[in-house]
Structure 1
Amino acid sequence: MSAANDTPLIEVEGLGISLNTSRGRAQAVREVSFALRRGETLGLVGESGCGKSVTALALMGLLPDSAIVSGSIRLDGRELVGLSDPDYCRLRGNRISMIFQEPMTALNPMHTVGRQVAEPLRRHKNLSAAEAREEAIALLDRVGLPDAFKRADAYPHQFSGGQRQRITIAMALACQPDVLIADEPTTALDVTIQRQILDLVADLVEERGMAMILISHDLGVIAENVSRMMVMYGGAVVESGTTDAVFSRMGHPYTQGLFRARPRLGAKKGTRLKTIAGSVPELADLPQGCTFADRCPIVIARCRAALPDAIDIGGGHRARCIRTDVSLAGAGA
């Protein structure tokens, strides 16, 4: 690997995000750090409300005006925290893009899909209307939209959910971004379409040498599509490492709970899925100590005293748990 490829493309250090809620200000993200080079893939996994999407919105500069962001986000060494909105607009959709979770709300119902895919090309690449349309049609064809030339003049409501997701992918990839964030890109799609879309994204990431962040609550999607992963809970990263290392030696009780709760092929009809007792805490109710303490089967008093440090359990595989000796011993339970 060359020295240029060894330089991180995007670096996040000690990211903290505080948001206004109906119950006052709450810490939505705490001490999140990671770095990605070109061609690398990172998965963020966890239940809804764990901070995954908020982290992604911070990278895109799309947090509410009332949000307070601490720490650092650097793209090619340029600090993005505190960047003015006009400067961020020059990056957003150009060097860093996002495939949003719900394509129907990501697309403007008042404009044709061809116009929407062409817009970032006109804004960031200064293409003429005719050039941008030609490139938009080529992108729509590339992502597998049938009869792209004719359907570029159709509106979002005239497409199926899978087709709308392909259109949002075309929009995100229009300017060949350096960093692609895919936030639950296959939610509510059937398994066949899900596989097609994930394969398409993987091919385009490899082809264009992008860094990709894939957000999902589906461990199977993460296992098959990223080389590294972070498990988030209560706004904090509770486990991180290579995907192979995390799946083979889950060091945090929360990761183990997610793994046990996954559906299993071959299970007898009527078999109940295992669940993690309790629910994700509200942002305004995050505990002082370990965010998972109230749901953890091996919790002790010391867990509630302070947010644990991440402990290296081998080869850069880290878990934010003071009881990794116990959790690792019981990982197969």
Structure 2
Amino acid sequence: MSTLPPPSAPPLLQVDDLQVRLPVAGGMAAAVRQASFSLRRGETLGIVGESGSGKSLTALALMGLLPEGAAVTGSLRLDGAELLGRPDADWCRLRGNRIGMVFQEPMTALNPVHPIGRQVAEPLRLHRALGARAARSEAIALLERVGIAQAAQRFDAYPHEFSGGQRQRITIAMALACAPDLLIADEPTTALDVTLQRQILELIAGLVRERGMALLLISHDLGVISQNVDRVLVMYGGSIVESGSTQAVFEHRAHPYTRGLFAARPQWLGPRGPGTRLPTIPGTVPALEDLPPGCPFAGRCAFTLPDCHAGLPAARRIGGQEGQEHHARCIRLGAVAASQEAAA
């Protein structure tokens, strides 16, 4: 975990009321609703939630890479400059330069018909105007930095000639080529074994500290989030249902959805004992077009009241120490807390 920047430091990234709507049969559906957060240089922020919660769409909005037909509103500022509404040419100057992204599937992120060295060198030539020889030299150094053995000899090799872990290291080298201010890592350890997962996460953390970047780490793995970020956002149904410092959210889970996620974690011969079934969250994740108009978790939640369907709840502050800010979108936080105390 990185050392937090001073509280007075201005945000590098400021997201306010971000809303993303996608075309579906019969109209447009809200895929991200009223997302607001900030990120300062040197800070690490995690987004956690199950598949379909809006994590990757939020990241794609930050990169200006939303699917065709998507409608986005709100405010997205980088160093105070508004990005939403800018032409594609402006986004192209930002992507790979000031904002880098490590995608969750390296084989689709890498072009199979181009050598990996050419792909790592490309942002250096585009954004830093390096010549072919200088870009090659810099790309080899980057590949060596991320742990690709014999980088000079393998510069002209193709993606299929590398293992999954090596391909992920290559995508990290591409994302870091121009020393971006913000690095977005979207499930960077998907399908990797535990040893490789640890190596990749340690590599990313070391490079973030070394270069003073801000990191946005997206994962469905609570263990990965707990060990690698300063603050965390919990998403469900396109909404940030809980947010705060990692310590505050993990120690004082306030939203019913967050509690359900933690309860469903597999535990090796944990307090439940062997042979017992894991708790599950009742119901299923609704399709985008079927999300309730109010709290997205309404209906699956044991605390649901009619008022929960009336509108998206405001984020309510939960008590905590300085630097331990903690918010949750729920109108029944008192009842949830009381049930926790009764169960303790």
> How does the TM-score come out when normalised to structure 2?
0.93
Change in CA separation of 1:153 and 1:269 when aligned onto 2, cut-off 3 Å: farther
Give 1:270 deviation, angstroms: 4.0
Alpha-carbon distance between aligned partners in 2 of 1:223 and 1:238, rounded to the nearest angstrom = 17
2:339 corresponding residue in structure 1:
330
Alpha-carbon distance between aligned partners in 2 of 1:130 and 1:275, rounded to the nearest angstrom = 56
Is residue 59 of structure 2 the alignment partner of residue 50 of structure 1?
no
1:216 corresponding residue in structure 2:
219
Q: 2:88 aligns with which of 75, 85, 88?
A: 85
CA contact (8 A) 2:264 2:278 kept: yes
Is residue 197 of structure 2 the alignment partner of residue 194 of structure 1?
yes
Give 1:87 deviation, angstroms: 0.9
What percent identity do the matched residue pairs reach? 65
Alpha-carbon distance between aligned partners in 2 of 1:45 and 1:22, rounded to the nearest angstrom = 28
Amino acid at match of 2:333: T
SS of the residue aligned with 1:74?
strand
Q: Greater CA deviation, 273-282 or 67-76?
A: 273-282
Structure-to-structure mapping, 1:254-265, within 5 angstroms: 254-265=257-268
- 1:105-139 Cα deviation digits (max 9, x unpaired): 00000001101000000000111111111111111
Is residue 248 of structure 2 the alignment partner of residue 239 of structure 1?
no
Q: 1:277 aligns with which of 264, 278, 282?
A: 282
Change in CA separation of 1:23 and 1:262 when aligned onto 2, cut-off 3 Å: farther
Alpha-carbon distance between aligned partners in 2 of 1:277 and 1:198, rounded to the nearest angstrom = 33
1:72 corresponding residue in structure 2:
75
Amino acid at match of 1:38: R
Q: 2:313 aligns with which of 308, 316, 325?
A: 308
What are the ranges of 5 or more consecutive residues in structure 1 without an aligned counterpart? Answer: none
Amino acid at match of 1:321: C
Amino acid at match of 2:183: L
SS of the residue aligned with 1:117?
helix
Aligned length: 333
Structure-to-structure mapping, 1:144-183, within 5 angstroms: 144-183=147-186
Q: 1:37 aligns with which of 40, 61, 67?
A: 40
RMSD over equivalenced CA pairs, Å: 1.6
Q: 1:140 aligns with which of 143, 148, 159?
A: 143
CA contact (8 A) 1:256 1:331 kept: no
Give 1:167 deviation, angstroms: 0.5
SS of the residue aligned with 1:150?
coil
Give 1:301 deviation, angstroms: 1.8
Amino acid at match of 1:75: L
Q: Greater CA deviation, 301-310 or 165-174?
A: 301-310
Amino acid at match of 2:286: P
Amino acid at match of 1:319: A
What are the ranges of 5 or more consecutive residues in structure 2 without an aligned counterpart? Answer: none
1:288 corresponding residue in structure 2:
293
Give 1:37 deviation, angstroms: 0.8
SS of the residue aligned with 1:73?
strand
Q: 2:327 aligns with which of 295, 318, 325?
A: 318
Alpha-carbon distance between aligned partners in 2 of 1:271 and 1:131, rounded to the nearest angstrom = 60
Change in CA separation of 1:4 and 1:259 when aligned onto 2, cut-off 3 Å: closer
Change in CA separation of 1:138 and 1:4 when aligned onto 2, cut-off 3 Å: farther
SS of the residue aligned with 1:32?
strand
> How does the TM-score come out when normalised to structure 1?
0.96
CA contact (8 A) 1:251 1:331 kept: no
CA contact (8 A) 2:146 2:173 kept: yes
Alpha-carbon distance between aligned partners in 2 of 1:38 and 1:227, rounded to the nearest angstrom = 12
Give 1:329 deviation, angstroms: 2.8
CA contact (8 A) 2:48 2:233 kept: yes
Give 1:275 deviation, angstroms: 1.8
SS of the residue aligned with 2:153?
helix
Q: 1:129 aligns with which of 117, 128, 132?
A: 132
Alpha-carbon distance between aligned partners in 2 of 1:5 and 1:304, rounded to the nearest angstrom = 38
SS of the residue aligned with 1:49?
coil
Give 1:285 deviation, angstroms: 0.8
Amino acid at match of 1:312: R
Give 1:67 deviation, angstroms: 1.2
Amino acid at match of 1:58: A
Q: 2:230 aligns with which of 227, 232, 239?
A: 227
CA contact (8 A) 1:5 1:38 kept: no
Give 1:3 deviation, angstroms: 8.3
Alpha-carbon distance between aligned partners in 2 of 1:259 and 1:187, rounded to the nearest angstrom = 20
